[in-house]
Amino acid sequence: THYLGTHLWGCFIAGMSFACLQPPHHAHHVWVKQTKRVTSWMIRIFFSGTVAFSIPVAQLLSLEAFWKGSIMGIVACIGTKVCCAPFMGKARFVIGWAMVGRAEFAYLIAQMALSAGMMDTKTFSIVIWALLYATIFAPFVFRFLLNRYVKSE
């Protein structure tokens, strides 16, 4: 029963109403300040409720999954992106490592492929190891390389 529109129209009208408050951007500031903690916890709960509970721990901790995932993580997840910009000058490794740190969404895609029967638990465990390499190393190496690049410029 959408006599006056849909829920999207209601969200639009609510957003337009708050956008006119004074001082400018006050509504945005309050929204960010009030929802930051809740949002960060909800993201953690969502991740643990979807992806983390679907990881087969016994299969993940097997030696075969670890070494195959290590090769995939170092060569496919990291190596291809780090070495993809050889003509970018001094910033090539900064650009490459910036692209490595995009593995968060890949966990969800892997979990969806597992639940759809597109991969078995053995392959899923290998993919999780590969994504762990990208997720753990990328922020630290990127920060180091970016700081070094900024100092050299």
Q: How would you write the pLDDT of the chain (153 residues) with one tens digit per residue? A: 466 677 777 777 877 777 777 787 777 777 778 777 788 888 878 877 777 777 888 888 999 999 999 999 999 888 888 888 778 888 888 888 888 876 678 888 888 899 899 999 999 999 999 999 888 898 899 999 999 999 998
Nearest to 7 by CA among 30, 21, 15, 135: 15
How far is residue 10 from each of residues 14, 27, 118, measured CA to CA in Å?
6, 17, 39
Give the type of residue at 16. Answer: M
- Check: pTM over 0.85? Answer yes or no: no
